[in-house]
Structure 1
Amino acid sequence: MSRGHSFASFGGICRRAALLAVLLSAAPVAADTPDPANWTQPIAPFHLIGPIDYVGSAGIAAYLIHTPAGAILIDGTPEPNAAMIRQHIEAMGVPIHGVKWIFVSHAHFDHAGAVAALARDSGAKVAAGAGDVAALERGRSPGEVLYTPRPYPPVHVDRPIRDGDRVTLGGVTLTARATPGHTPGCTSWTMQVREKGRPLAIVFPCSVSVAGNRLVGNKAYPGIVGDFRRSFDRLGAMKADVVLPAHPEVADVIGRARRGALVDPALLGRIVAKSRADFATALQKQQKTNHD
């Protein structure tokens, strides 16, 4: 399949993105609740920018970064998607054994669920934020949440990642930025690409939605409120010409790619501002409930 794939088939997906974004920011999926249909809905993989391809589902992102020494995969999407993600990777010209690293943005089933199978099939090393390693290796979400968390296949982490760590493959370097809150080890990644001779800063932000986290009285994660606030500050200060989040609708990745409008240096700031406001509302509500 050509990396210049047509986007004509993505129009309906893009029109549904705004509604799904609202739902995801307010309520995560519990163990006894069906996943949103588009989390496992196939779409053809397609080229994004520079060496980066989109190989995820319609509703959950997975990003493939090509290098001369192999590829890096960011996130795996839910467990049922493992075979589909492998097919997408291979459709973009990378044999599964060509994937050398898998980065896990955070330890939730919708992003880490397929990672164990993909790591097994590829032989890739897995990297994840140090604060999420224990959760990934037991296959359960970290911290305390206001819903029943969904388990997933345990993931062996070869390299615990800390703020400022770098991973280089084939001359391509990604830098980790710790942005905890959503999970203790939530990790954003940054890299530089050149597109038509122009240098561009790419940010793969980890989620900063509250998404059912217990903000008040969280004994398993007592520093959650401070971590969220520091992460808002950190992400808000980042230079990002292109934003590629784990939930693609947060930045309308599919729609923007279809329109050739991925570059938007103000987008990350807008996302952070909305997330910060949503967090303040959620915190106030939980404080009131806890007081009452």
Structure 2
Amino acid sequence: MMQTLALTAPSVRLRPPPPPGGGGSLGRRTKSLVGAIAIAASAPLFLGAADPPAWTRPQAPFPIAGPITYVGSEGIAAYLIKTSAGAILLDGTLAENAGMVERNIVAAGVPLRDVKLILVTHAHFDHAAGVAAIKRANGARVVAGAGDVRALETGVPPGETNYGVIRFPAVDVDRGVRDRETVTLGTTTLTARATPGHTPGCTTWTMRILAKPRPLAVVFPCSVSVAGNRLIGNRAYPGIVADYRRSIAMLGTLHADIVLPSHPELADVIARGKRRQAGDTTAFIDPTLLPKIVAEAKTAFDADLAKQAR
């Protein structure tokens, strides 16, 4: 059923590399990034290790296309979408980045109180931990995939992994969305596409922006990397394999002129941002990118599943 929403503390964690989100610490795309994520995610993980430095390294906000501005850190993305009735924030990144994200929002010309909605891609600490502090600061309504609501409200990530439990500050969720439901603020609408697997409520968000000579389709893909998830014998998430397969297949049906992932290096977001700031207004337009990411994700998933099944 389609539904429309019209709107007039430090975390406690075990800190393993690589991240549950997959991809933040892998560097340049010198090879298949998704494959590299899968390889790294199967490596030994050590408690107490630090997050990749880029995750908390400040990044000045920069315009992407239309109403979309990058407001995350160098290594973890957050996107601001300006509308006629305020702004929408997509993801909050790390808890320790909340102040940085808030400052970037203000630097982008949006008073913090004007952020009316915070959309969450998935319930992992590297993308959701900062949401609680930002919500406290401005009272924004939080919207997330229905399958991740309990995890967000308890601060305990869902499923079973090979790196243990990484808790994050709990946040009240104002609405849980399901596949194809929409969220509207002013005249701007985003559509939720359920892409479970990485987490049960992993949600890809899509929107269209006005541009010439034609509107542009924008996709904010939720991760489909395995990144430490237990695929075999996952008692907390027994349907994980089928969900991954369905989500990868569904992503393959989407058209995206612009791809904006939660880990910016997956789409060279920072590098494209520098090109955009230098005057290249087409820097982010790449209709070939999402099919490449999907193909690499399928190959990496199949390899990881086969390895875990041995």
TM-score, normalised with respect to structure 1: 0.90
Task: Return the match for 2:29 from 18, 39, 42.
Answer: 18
Structure 2 residue runs of 5 or longer lacking an equivalent are 1-23
Residue type of the alignment partner of 2:114: G
The CA distance in 1 between the partners of 2:49 and 2:171, in whole Å, is 23
Closer/same/farther in 2, CA of residues 125 and 31 from structure 1, 3 Å limit: farther
Residue 251 of structure 1: aligned partner: 267
The CA distance in 2 between the partners of 1:203 and 1:195, in whole Å, is 16
Task: Return the match for 2:85 from 46, 69, 78.
Answer: 69
SS at match of 1:81: helix
Q: Residues 69 and 170 of structure 1 are in contact (CA less than 8 Å); yes or no, is this contact kept in structure 2?
A: yes
Note if 1:279 corresponds to 2:301.
yes
Structure 1 residue runs of 5 or longer lacking an equivalent are 1-12
Q: CA deviation at 1:194?
A: 1.6
The CA distance in 1 between the partners of 2:286 and 2:199, in whole Å, is 27
Residue type of the alignment partner of 2:82: H
**Equivalent runs, 1:225-240 vs 2, <5 Å:** 225-240=241-256
The CA distance in 1 between the partners of 2:75 and 2:30, in whole Å, is 12
**Equivalent runs, 1:71-220 vs 2, <5 Å:** 71-220=87-236
Residue 264 of structure 1: aligned partner: 286
Deviation readout 1:96-143 (Å, 9 max, x if unpaired): 110000001000000001000001101100000000011111112100
180-189 or 193-202: bigger deviation = 193-202
RMSD: 1.8
Alignment identity in percent?
59
Deviation readout 1:63-108 (Å, 9 max, x if unpaired): 0000010000000001100100000000001111100000010000
Q: CA deviation at 1:196?
A: 3.5
Deviation readout 1:33-82 (Å, 9 max, x if unpaired): 21000000001111000100000000000000000100000000011001
The CA distance in 1 between the partners of 2:217 and 2:201, in whole Å, is 23
The CA distance in 2 between the partners of 1:180 and 1:113, in whole Å, is 19
The CA distance in 2 between the partners of 1:41 and 1:250, in whole Å, is 17
Deviation readout 1:1-32 (Å, 9 max, x if unpaired): xxxxxxxxxxxx9x943379566443297652
Note if 1:37 corresponds to 2:53.
yes
Q: Residues 27 and 212 of structure 1 are in contact (CA less than 8 Å); yes or no, is this contact kept in structure 2?
A: yes
Deviation readout 1:264-291 (Å, 9 max, x if unpaired): 1111010011011111111000000xxx
Residue 27 of structure 1: aligned partner: 41
Instruction: Specify which structure has the higher proportion of helix.
Output: 1
Q: Residues 163 and 178 of structure 1 are in contact (CA less than 8 Å); yes or no, is this contact kept in structure 2?
A: yes
Aligned residues: 275
Residue type of the alignment partner of 1:131: G
Residue 7 of structure 2: aligned partner: none
Closer/same/farther in 2, CA of residues 60 and 30 from structure 1, 3 Å limit: farther
259-268 or 200-209: bigger deviation = 259-268
The CA distance in 2 between the partners of 1:250 and 1:219, in whole Å, is 30
SS at match of 2:28: helix
- Structure number with the bigger relative contact order (C-alpha 8 A, sep ≥ 6) is 2
The CA distance in 2 between the partners of 1:163 and 1:44, in whole Å, is 33
Residue 222 of structure 1: aligned partner: 238
Q: CA deviation at 1:185?
A: 0.2
TM-score, normalised with respect to structure 2: 0.85
SS at match of 1:230: helix
The CA distance in 2 between the partners of 1:105 and 1:178, in whole Å, is 10
Residue type of the alignment partner of 2:53: A
Q: Residues 204 and 244 of structure 1 are in contact (CA less than 8 Å); yes or no, is this contact kept in structure 2?
A: yes
